[in-house]
Structure 1
């Protein structure tokens, strides 16, 4: 039996409303973007696990939209587990998103299916 490509598995989980990333039990390395082999250690025992969903805005910019559309934040979030991912922060004006801001992941509808977005973490 052939194993599905990691990206297929990742998007399947998202379609089910679940945000899962890979982790190697033997090394403890967390991996994102989905892959067959961990980039730092070469581990091949990657499993799908649910991260805490918490992270910190590592970098941010604003995509300016033509009114009446709202501007969109484009951010790189560093998950508490270590990996970074490009996404956006919802539920607040894009101009208010700041580097160092604590955020929480949520699975939302995107233009082509479910995606991971973030919102400000109220437990700051």
Structure 2
């Protein structure tokens, strides 16, 4: 990063953990489009709709949301399948649908019952 908040001590801590520090070009907000997209999606779909009360609560919310995104939420680039797609139960006439509430009902997941 190039933000003045990230001092040489940050670089040293990352280097000590075996992480390479990559500097983004000056004044180029599109340089890290994948991260920017993720942050925007998390804010729009999750954290902007909740009152976060502590760091532990935020970690719990983000863990739940990340699990939802990776196991249930459709992704256009993956043919409307999630990255870690569970086995899909083929719906049959009269089958039931399983409903799961995520984050107190902020997000709802629906699956065919096996």
TM over 0.5: no
Of Structure 1 and Structure 2, the greater helix share is in 2
TM-score, L = length of structure 2: 0.21
TM-score, L = length of structure 1: 0.20
Of Structure 1 and Structure 2, the greater strand share is in 1
Q: Which has the larger radius of gyration?
A: 2
